[in-house]
Amino acid sequence: MNALRMRKAKLYWVASILLCSVISFPSLTAFGDIAPLSDVERLLLKQAGYPTDTVEQIVEATESADYSVRYAAIHLLTERTGKNAVPVLMRALYDPEKVAVRRRAAQLLGTLGDRSGIEQMRKDFGELKAKAELPPPNDPNMSDAARKRIHNEKNAALYDALGVAKVLAELGDLQGYELAAAAAFEGTWELHRAEAVRVLVEIAGKDKGVLKSRQMAPLTVLAAVADSEKSASVISALLSSAAKLPHDDAVFVLDRARKSPNQSEAKRKEAQGVIDLLKARKKAAEEPIR
């Protein structure tokens, strides 16, 4: 019995880690690096004691005390029921514990053509950005442990703010541009810089006239990241997410990574591989059907 309980606990832990990876790096599924998101989510819910055979069971999971279960359940519910999930998503939009759940709810509502999550995202973004930009404490009596805690809280707020900025961009609000452009180079965590890249890719796909009128140059920033970034994980985020861009823009950014002396040989080859894939897709789309 103890062995079975330990095995279930280990499976739940593995599923949680996989889901957290997908939450942080959703583009991984696009290139087959990990299992499809829905499979990971079903595994997580099953190991947490929530079967996914019926809609009612998934709805019950959306009320779990575990935020990762709630996060997974609202996606599975939307996938299963479409617009019938809106009432549950509206409740999740105001999740009292985790911005990740609120962010996911707003994103899922957006996929259903419902932009009602935008105001909550604007509120979350403003609060998180303000917290991330707080000046460092200047109290000479503050302990090192307290300083470290505040530093970590600011870093966490920046990461969450970038995640919200991406959803805002998906919903048509580009106010996260300046934060993302700065974090792409100055983010303390690699996660900051990787998430900033995703925000910039999302913004770069918007109307070029709008971007020019607002003096936003996300492609220029992404190209500079491709030139200068040395972290393999950040470049991986760039290579996978850049494929979402219009063909010529994607090739422009990827080619900078391919030629950058700051990238490893493996990453340069990976960039070339993505370029080749995009060109092959374009050629296939342009060829007449026989």
pLDDT of residue 4: 44
Here the tokens at position 49 are: 């004691």
pLDDT of residue 288: 74
pLDDT of residue 140: 86
Q: What DSSP state is assigned to residue 263?
A: S
pLDDT of residue 104: 97
pLDDT of residue 69: 96
Between 144 and 203, name the one with better pLDDT.
Answer: 203
**What's the number of CA atoms in the CB half-sphere (13 Å) around residue 9?**
6
Instruction: Please provide the average confidence, as pLDDT, over all residues in the chain.
Output: 89
Residue 26 banded pLDDT, cuts 50, 70, 90: very low
Residue 138 banded pLDDT, cuts 50, 70, 90: confident
pLDDT of residue 136: 84
pLDDT of residue 253: 97
Check whether 122 has a pLDDT greater than 90: yes
Over residues 70-104, the pLDDT tens digits come to 999 999 999 999 999 999 999 999 999 999 999 99
Residue 27 banded pLDDT, cuts 50, 70, 90: very low
Between CA 86 and CA 109 the distance in angstroms is 7
Which residue do the tokens 């299992």 mark? Answer: 35
Check whether 212 has a pLDDT greater than 90: yes
Check whether 185 has a pLDDT greater than 80: yes
pLDDT of residue 20: 52
Query: Position 195: which residue type?
Result: E
Check whether 18 has a pLDDT greater than 60: no
CA angle 168-81-198, nearest 5°? 25
Q: What DSSP state is assigned to residue 176?
A: T
pLDDT of residue 287: 81
Percent of residues, the chain, with pLDDT higher than 70 = 87
Between CA 139 and CA 126 the distance in angstroms is 26
| Range in 10-14, 43-47, 92-96 with the lowest mean pLDDT | 10-14
pLDDT of residue 137: 83
Query: Position 267: which residue type?
Result: K
Check whether 256 has a pLDDT greater than 60: yes
Which distant-in-sequence residues (6+ apart) come within 8 Å of 165 by Cβ?
Answer: 125, 175, 176, 177, 179, 180, 199
